[in-house]
Every structure is written in structure tokens, then in C-alpha cells.
Amino acid sequence: MSGISDSDVKRLITQITGFQKGDENFELCLQFAVNNFKYHRFQSVDPTKITRRLDGIATKFAVHSQKDKSDKLKELIEKFLHLPLTNNSTQTKTDAHYSVLSVLLDLSDCPTETVFTEKKQVTEESKEEEFDWGEYLLEGVDTRRYYFSDTSDEEEEESEEEELAVINQSELETVAEISDARCTLDKVKDWLERNLVVQYWIGRGNEQESIGRFPTSNLHTHWERFQASDNPFHVSRNEFITESQLIREILWMLLGVTETYLFIFDGRRYSVNTDVYLSHLTDECLDTCLQKFICYGDKIVALNSFCEDVLEQTRDLQDLTLVTQSYQAFVGTLTQFLHDYQKRLSVEQIKVRDQLVPMTLSVLSEDLDQWFEKVDLVYSIYITGIAAAAELDSNILKVSHLLNVMFKMLIDHDTLGSQDKDKLRLLLIMWIQTCEPYLTILSDWINTGNLEDPREDFLIQRNKTVQSFDETFWESAFDLRLKSNIDMSSSKISQDIDISDATTIPKFLKPVLKEVVLTGKSMELLMSMGKAESVLKMSGSDFDQKSLYQIFINNLVEILGTNSTSETVEATPRDITLARQPNSQYGGATSSPTGGSVTPSRQLSAWEMEEYLKTKGVFDPLLAINFQEIINEVKTSAILPAVKKEDDLSVLKTLDLDSLQPLEIVLQKCLYPYIQDRYAEVCPELILIVKNQHNLLQHLTDMRSFFFMEAGDTMYEFYSNLFDRIKKHEEWRDESILSLMLEDALESHFSHCTHRLSVEVRPPTENDRSPIALTDCIILHYQVPWPASLVISQKYQARYNEIFSFLLQIKRAQYSLEQLNFKDLERKNLLKSFSLSPMKDQPASDTELSTSAKIHQMQIFRFNLLYFVNSFNNYIMTRILSSTVLEFEKNMKKAGDLDEIIAAHIDYLHVTYHRCLLDPSLGPLKYAICKVLNLVLVFQNYWEQGAEEISGNAIEEMDTTFSRCVRFLTSFLNSVVKRGSFPHLEFLAFQMQSLLKTVGNM
């Protein structure tokens, strides 16, 4: 119990329990308290933890821009720790010191929100005690004096009477002083009665003292008499207040105070106390006058409640999505408006208090009308932008709705030519400050590739499951919230978004949303590649120094200018623009802060600088250029001071809104060009890196060489071995065999692709039942490295394989016809010749053709089939693949971003797939061609058996089938060409027309 005395404990017991010393209960309490003080089981305070907590609070003050609090706290803590805790102790920094600090920390509540005002400590000068030198020198000396009177008794009586007279005189003076004190007390009471507010809230208002000499001041009394005489059941109000008291109550109510005497608050709205009346107004007139103020009081309470709710939800760190950053920014600008509004009401309170000017209800209403209009405007934003969106189920819908409502109101006020520039400026300031989190997220994304949106404000969200190195990054790494059906990789993103619900996207961002998305995705890819430095170095803008929000404000100042009323003349960016124009009124002399005339120095040209250097005997063009740049930088920095973030609000309040330009166009000029410039810097740089450093064009060329068989010799070596194995009925459905054949074919000209190209054999399907579709089970795989895989992904390789399978069918038919040997056709069946030797001289029947005739027809039919297959092969390889590649290469050169490159590649595949007649809409045409290709394989089997094994009916049947297919193709292609639907089919239609003449003559 060091530092705690018994008297302190006894006083504590008496204060808490009321027991007095000597009571039995008092002794029990004393024993209990002393034991607990001495032998308590509480842990001793840890000075290290207390110091850490105090340092944390000081740091928190500094983070919240409360440096004065932080410094003062450190100073007081240091001073306290170096002082003894009690008068009887000399120790410092004891456990008791830290215990006191611990108690104070536990008692503290929201120290950052506490208003701190440093009080000046008045140090009383210690008065030196006067030293009584006389007493000191006379110490030990008997100073008593003895008088021996030699007078008579009468003389002694006279002296006693004189002494009594002196005593009576002093008593009279004391009485006079008491009477003067009583007079002073009466004056004090009189001053208090005149200056203290009458307690009207408990019914002490006196109407008689406030009645004026004018008849209208007693209107309520006369009207109540009339009401009482007319209606015997009329009940009068009985609580009188003056108009000054009423105005004070109104001001408190307008400040948001809910506990007042005159106005009763039920949790949502105010109502008037029905027992209150004014002497010069009737009850009905008073209620009517107060309804206007009550209306605005309700609005202020609603706005304050909204701010408190948002701040309360913001403190919840468990769920960051409760309140969006945009809502917090809106609450910040709303709080600033309410603060300005309260300052204006404080001015009215001073008027009422000092009574310097007459103050009535009508005067108060007229004084506050301008602010009431602003309250109406802000409240309408709250109702339409916040309350109306309360039922929406996502943060992005709420944020977009709020921004769109504010933007629409801003544009409407500007379009309608509102004369109240203060309301327009208020709308502009609130909209800009509400947009700050949105612009900050956007700025970070397009500058660093980092899309951080913890509270789900932003329109676009990052899919965390997709990494930057995934080939599906461009398609699925980002998507629109609530609009997942929109392809974020498509170049038609703007069209898809325009048809979407307008409430899901901030209107001011729609025209540049495509550039924002592409720039953000491109920037993240550059960061993943480690190539972001090249973009930052080539950037000529201020994106690496300033946020998009700050640039937006600076551009507003530059375009609109400011109406500065400060005494110091500072040129705005608009002044610079005008000063650089010829014949500008700013081009002449300008006034200095001191009132004189200052002629600005004219900007020197490079030629004048060279001439000046020549006169000094120095001629160095590089030096002249450096001087020129230095002069320009000095002039710009002197004329255009940087706008600091803490001055944003003051700058926005001084914007000149008298510009003839529509405000919507001004906002677009301030925001869009910088996003478009960033797009023009980042996206082409990504294309350049992907093309040059990651060989995108080379990979596309290699894929065309293999999948589209543009490498004719190499692919011929591969499929010729394959077709020979099929013809000889050898094993070929083995991936190892096919891989070995492919490697042998690639070894001569494409050895660098052997590790990238592989073969897979999939199980046969129902579509593989036709003979020509036997090779459709062969699938090629080309391993594309990242980031080229973003363009050539596995999804698009499936389309490549469909075209490859169809080309392989054509090559098989062509190879089968080309490998037919005429000796095989003339080969004789020896067994059949011996068995038919006795009937050698018998004539042939009518249904059977001679062997020579069969050979002749087979040869003609072979040439017709070969003509058909070669024509179709030439159409595919020259008219389709070659011409389509030229269009694709042209589109690749024009592409400005990776999205356009992917779109060009997709279009190239789609056009190639369609022109190769693989599109489902051209199904009949493909069916006829595949029927001819199957006929080629049937014809090959007949050919290899020999002419003697072929019946005339089989030849006739094959010819009939072929003729029907050719006629169908000719008719179909001619009709299509005449309509102009497919101009690329004109060549094939001409070839079929020529073949039809030959087939018709057979």
C-alpha cells in the first residue's frame, strides 16, 4: 500500500458506503480494503505495453493529421513520468505512474474525435515572503513598556470616554461597509434578473412583462377571448414564450438538436409543442410559420442520421463491403456542407444573443432562404441517390446509381442555365469529391495494373482465381459486376455495354470504359513481364506523380479558371493559356501585388538565344537548347503553382462557372484525354513486346504452316507416310508412330518446332464412320508460350484442328488419285482367265462392257475426279487460305491493342472456317463435297482390283453419283454467286461449271 495512506482509505469508504468511523461495518470495510490493497491478485502493469499503446495513439493522431495532439501527448507523458507521484515520494517512472496511465487509457473513448484546445498554463509568480527584520533583531529582548501615571482619576475617565468614542466610530464604519455590500448584492441580483434567461421550459414565462404598447402585440389575447366567447369548449394554450426564445429554439432544431422544449422529436420527425403560444400570433398562424422550419429540421436530422450510420458501419472491419468508399466520400463532402451550414446558423445565433438587429421569424426565414435551397438540393441527392437505392442488392449498383443521379442533377442545372451559381458549384464539388475513390481506383489500375477494390465500388472486378500467366487471363481475369455475359476480351465491349442497364455503369465513364479496361489489363501484363519501366519512362504525362483525381481538378482549374479574391495576385492555368495567345489582354503589363505595373519577360526563341551566345563569344547549339528548357521550366513553375491536395476544396470553391462551354463537355475535356493518352502509351507498347520479344507473328506463321498445310513439302512427307500405312492396312492409330513420322517430316525445315508440335489420337466417334473421315481422330497440338498463348489459346486450336481435319481429307483424296497406277487397272485375274478359257470366243453380254471399255471409262472417270479434287484443293489453298492471310496480316498491323489483335485472330479463324465450307449454314454443300471424296476412296478400291473385277453397273453407279453431286454443286454455287452472298465462291463455281460440261458428255 505504498503511496496510499489510511486516511485516504477511510475517506474512500465513507464516500462510497456512507459508514462513519466507529461503526462496525466501517471497520469491516476498512479491513477488507486494506487487505485488497496490500495483497491484491491483479497483475502488475507492464510499462512496455503501456508505452507501446501510448506510442500507437500518438501515431494515430499523426495519421489523422492531428500533429498538435500527438506532440502535446508525448510532451505531457514525458513530463508526468519525470515527476514524483506524491509529495512524500521522490521516485519517478514507477509502476504507479504507469498504472495511472493505464487507467486513463482504459477510460479514453475515441481520442481522435475529441476536440483538443491547448490551454495556456498561467504560472503564478511566487511571492517572496517578507522577512521581519525587526522581530529578528529584537529576538530575546523584552520590548514591554511600563507606564506610571501621575494623573488624577478625572483625567483617566476622560481618556476612557475618548477611547469609547473611537470604538463607536469604527463600529459605524463597519456598519457602513455592510450596507455597501448589501447594495452591491442588490445590483448583482438585478443584473442576474435582467440577463439570465427566464426558465420558460418549466412554465415561468411571464406574458405581462413582454406585452408591448402596440395593439398587434396582444393579438393572441384578443383572439383567445373571441374563441372563448364563440366556443365554450375552446381550450387555450398556457405556455407563453417570446419570439427571441422561439427563434433560439428554431435554430437549435435546425442544428439537429432533438431534445428541445418547443419541438418534440418522435425519432423521425419534429412536431410543435401544442401548449406554446406567442402574444402577437394566433395559434394557427404560429403553427403555419413553424412548419417551414420543421421541414428543414427533419431533413437535417435525416442527413445527420445517415452520416452517423455510415460512420458506424465504417468502423466494422469484419465486413468491408458494408459501406463503399464512394459512400464514405459522399458522407465526407456532406459533413463539410453541414459544417458550413452550422457556421451560418451560428451567425444567426450571435445576432439573437447580442440583439444588435431586430430578429423576427420572417427575418430569420429570409436570411436562411439561400441555405434552405441548398439543403433542399442536398436532401434531394440523398433521397434519389441514397434512399432510393437502399433496396439494391450490390454495392456497385448503389455507387453507380448515386454517381449517375449526382451527374444528371449537375448537368441539368447547367443545361437549364441556373442563375444560382452557388448551387451549381455545390453540386460540382460534391460530385467531384464523391468520385474521388472511383477515380483513385481507376488511376491505380491504369498506372500500376493493380485493381484494388476492397469495398466493391468499381464497375469491374478482378477474378483472383485467374493468374496473369494463364492463357485465359484476357478473357476471364476481369468481368463486369452483374454483367458476366459480356465478353471482356471482345473489341465490341462498348456496344455490349451501351445496351445494358444504364444504372449499372457511371454515365461519365461510359465513353472511355473500353480504354480503361484495355489499359488496365495491358498494364497488369506489362507488370507481370517486368516491362512496366519502359511505359513509365516513355510516359510524358503526370501519371507517375499525380493521381487521376488530382489531374482532373488541375484541368478544371485550367479550363474554367478561378475567381480569386485574395490580395496576392497568383496566375491560374487559364491565365497562362491566355497569356500565350497573341493579342491576349493578358499579354501586356500585369499588376504586381504592390499595385505597380510589371512587364513580364518575353519568352526567348532559340534563334535569339543563339545570337546572344554569339555576342558573348560562345556558340553551342546544345547549350542554347538547355537554356531554353530551363527558362521554360522556371516560367511555368512561377506562373502555375501546383495545387495541393489539402487545397482542393478551396480551389473548387473558387472555380469560375460563367464559362460558355457546357459543363458536360468541360468535364469530358478534363478527364477523357488523359485516359486516352494512357491507352495510347500502354497498349501499343504491349503489342510491340508481344510481337517482337515473344515472337507472336512467328508462332502464327508456324501454326498456319502445319494446321493449314502451308509448309507443303513437310506436311506432304507426313501425310504421305500416313496414307500409305492406311492403304497397306498397317498400324497407324498409335501416337508414338505418328509422333515419329511428324518428327521425321519436321527435321529438315522446321527442327525448331519439334518440341512444340505433337500429335494426339482421340477415340473414334460416330462422325468417323465414313471412309474419308477415318483420319479425323488425328489432333495436332502446338505448345504456344506465354504471353503469345493469350492470342493462340487451346480454345482456338480446336478450330485450327477442324480445318486441319478437313484439309487432310482433301489431301487423302488427292493423294489416292495421284497414286493410282495404270498397270493395276490392266492386271488380270489368272484364276478367272483359266476358268473362262473354253468360252473365250463367246461374245460379251449386253450388260457387260469389255475390259478395254472399262479401262477407258475408269481412266476418264479418274481424270474427272482428279479435276474436281484439284479444283477444290486449289480453291482452299489459294483463294481461301492465302487471301485470308493477307487480310489477317493487314488487320494485325492496324491493331492498336491486344484486344484488337485477339479479335483479328478470331475473325481470321471464323472467316477461314466459313470459307472452307465448314460452317453449319453450308452443310448441304459440304455434304456433297464429302460424298465425292468418299467416292474417290471407293474408286481407288475398284481401281486396285483391276478392270476385270469391275462391273459396268458399278462404274455407271459411281458416274451417276458423281454427276448428281457436280450438278448440285454447280446449281448451288451459281445461285449463291448471283446473289452476291459469297463472292469468294465464284472461282469454285466456274470450275464446277467447266466440270459439268465434261460430266455431261460421259
Q: Partners of 272 in the beta sheet?
A: 263
- Read off the pLDDT of residues 910-920 as tens digits, 9 standing for 90 and up: 989 988 888 88
pLDDT recorded at residue 108: 79
Q: Which pLDDT value is given to residue 67?
A: 81
Q: In the numeric block, which cell numbers belong to residue 343?
A: 457556421
Distance CA 476, CA 702 (A): 27
Of 214-218, 280-284, 637-641, 749-753, where does mean pLDDT reach its minimum? 637-641
Higher model confidence: residue 877 or residue 490?
A: 877
Strand partners, 277: 240
Question: What H or E segment, with its residue span, contains residue 152?
Answer: none
Ranges 26-40, 789-803, 842-856, most confident: 789-803
Give dist(CA 51, CA 946) in Å, integer.
106
pLDDT tens, 589-598? 333 333 333 3
Q: Is the pLDDT of residue 265 over 80?
A: yes
Percent of the chain at pLDDT above 90? 11
Predicted confidence band of residue 577 (pLDDT cuts 50, 70, 90): very low
Higher local confidence (pLDDT), 682 or 3: 682
Residue 107 is predicted with a pLDDT of: 77
Q: Could you tell me where in the chain the CATH 1.20.120.1900 domains are found?
A: 694-824+851-1000
What number of residues does the chain have? Answer: 1002
Closest CA to 900 of 744, 686, 627, 717: 686
Q: Give the orientation angle of helix 6-17 with respect to helix 24-38, to 10 degrees.
A: 120
CB contact set of 88 (below 8 Å; sequence gap of 6+): 3
Q: Give the CATH number of domain 694-824+851-1000.
A: 1.20.120.1900
**198-212, 386-400, 565-579: which range is least confident on average?**
565-579
Report the 3 state secondary structure along 773-803.
HHHHHEEEEECCCCCHHHCCCHHHHHHHHHH
DSSP designation for 491: T
- Rounded CA-CA distance 504/904 in Å is 29
Q: Report which of 582, 542, 574 is spatially closest to residue 640, judged by C-alpha positions.
A: 574
Q: Is residue 693 classed exposed, middle or buried when 0-12, 13-18 and 19+ CB atoms within 10 A define those classes? A: exposed
Residue 607: which H helix or E strand, with range? helix 606-615
**Cα gap 420→150, rounded to integer Å:** 105
Determine the pLDDT at residue 464: 87
* Residue 727 C-alpha from the chain's centroid: 65
Q: Virtual CA dihedral for 518, 521, 527, 528, nearest 10 degrees?
A: -140
SS3 for 478?
A: strand
Give the whole-angstrom CA distance, residue 905 versus residue 888: 7
Neighbours of 37 (CB within 10 A): 13
- Distance, C-alpha 95 to centroid of its chain: 50
- For residue 593, the SS3 value is coil
The whole-number pLDDT of residue 643 equals 39
pLDDT digits (tens, 9 = 90+) for 356-387: 788 888 889 899 999 999 999 999 999 999 99
How far are the Cα atoms of 200, 455, 561, 563, 571 from residue 568, in angstroms, in the given order? 52, 43, 16, 13, 10
Q: What are phi and psi of 372, to 5 degrees?
A: -65, -35
- Tens digits of residue pLDDT in 952-964: 788 888 888 888 8
Confidence of residue 580 (pLDDT cuts 50, 70, 90): very low
Cis (ω within 30 of 0) for the bond into 787? yes
Q: Which of 526, 531, 549 is nearest to 450 (CA)?
A: 526
Residue 499 has pLDDT above 50, yes or no: no
Residue 528 has pLDDT above 60, yes or no: yes
Q: 919-969, pLDDT tens digit by residue?
A: 888 888 888 888 888 988 888 888 888 777 777 788 888 888 888 888 888
Residue 758 Cα distances to 707, 763, 797, 807, 961, angstroms: 12, 17, 13, 18, 38
- How many other C-beta atoms lie within 10 A of the C-beta of residue 331? 21
The per-residue pLDDT of the chain, averaged, comes to 76
Write out pLDDT tens, residues 404-446. Answer: 999 999 888 888 765 678 888 899 999 999 999 989 998 888 8
- 953-989 as b/e: b if 16+ CB within 10 A: eebeebbeebbebbebbbebbbebbeeeebeebebbb
Highest mean predicted confidence (pLDDT) among 185-189, 264-268, 757-761: 757-761
H or E, element range at 536: helix 532-538
Cell numbers at residue 235, please? 381550450
Cell 545570337 -> residue: 611
Q: What pLDDT, on a 0 to 100 scale, did the predictor assign at position 375?
A: 93
Point out which residues pair with 480 in neighbouring strands.
460, 483
Report the alpha-carbon distance of residue 709 to residue 800 in Å, rounded: 11
Q: Identify the DSSP state of 259.
A: B
Q: Tell whether the model's pLDDT for residue 2 goes beyond 60.
A: no
> Strand ranges (DSSP E) for 337-480?
460-462, 478-480
CB atoms within 10 A of CB 490: 16
pLDDT at 339: 92
Distance (Å, rounded) from C-alpha 613 to C-alpha 625? 12
The cell for 879 is: 483463294
Chain-centroid distance of CA 205 in Å reads 58
Q: Give 667-714 pLDDT, tens digit per residue.
A: 888 888 889 888 998 999 999 999 988 999 999 999 988 998 888 888
Which carries the bigger pLDDT value, residue 266 or residue 145? 266
Q: Are 949 and 858 in contact (CB under 8 A)?
A: no
> In this predicted structure, what is the pLDDT of residue 875?
85
Per-residue pLDDT at 52 exceeds 80:
yes
Distance CA(148)–CA(460), nearest Å, equals 116
As a whole number, mean pLDDT of residues 337-363 equals 87
Contact assessment for residue 334 and residue 309, using Cβ atoms and an 8 Å cutoff: no
